[in-house]
Amino acid sequence: MKAVILAGGQGKRLRPLTNDLPKPLIPVAGKPITVHQIEWLKKYGVKEFILSVGYLKEKFLEELGSGRKLGVSIAYVVEDEPLGTGGGLKNAKPLLERESHFYVVNGDILTDIDPTRLFSRFDEDILGVVALVPLPSPYGVVKVGEGSKVLEFEEKPMLRDYWINAGLYLFKPQILEHLPDTGDLERTTFPKLAREGVLKAFKYENVGFWKSIDTVKDVEEAEKILRSTEP
């Protein structure tokens, strides 16, 4: 089983952290984001990784190399110019077209969810399954009862009536024929596949940990969570 990590972006919102380091290599709780991702997927049987890289690509080679020190195999596909998540994945087509299935992960998420559960949504006509998690509120929520009495303060709860893309996918290789040369999966491929009825979703009702790293504050919050769960 192979997994593609889409790691070609510049991470502009994380500057100055990304001035000299690509976003997926920013350390969180003592390890680069990409190393956390590899260790997470390795627990579920993934031993072969493809990194789609572009910005400061040489840093990945310096940090990860062949993957041997992590007990995995890492291949690289390089974007000479920004291709977006769809174009970056299409760039890996020669390494994926003979697979029965493969995972794709955005290079800026940290999670411990079980990726194998996505297989439960597959059937013959489906090309891909998108992992969904409840929308995490960026704010604390105040619960108010009768007479406008404040009942409870809940700090940044999961809003379970709303679901967001978790940045984890399971695809059949036929999806490669639907990818743009340049552009994002979310804006180009997914709307088209949804209209054709060949895309499904899996809702992770009980999320242990999921965090998208977009800002310095996200790094700090993820650091606290991961440090608190260390043995």
User: To the nearest 5 percent, what fractions of the chain are helix, strand and coil?
Assistant: 35, 30, 35
d(CA 151, CA 168): 37
Host H or E run for residue 4 = strand 2-7
Q: By the 8 A CB rule, do 104 and 128 touch?
A: no
d(CA 135, CA 204): 11
Neighbours of 179 (CB within 10 A): 23
Helices and strands, number each (H, E), in the chain: 6, 13
Q: Which of 115, 116, 112 is nearest to 29 (CA)?
A: 112
Token pair of 158, please?
């999961």
Distance of CA 201 to the CA centre of its chain: 15
The secondary structure of 91-149 as a DSSP string is: TTHHHHTT-S-EEEEETTEEE---GGGGGGG--TT--EEEEEEEEEPSS-EEEE-GGG-
Catalytic-role residue among 93, 143, 156, 192: 156
Tell me whether residue 156 is one of the annotated catalytic residues: yes
The set of catalytic residues is: 156
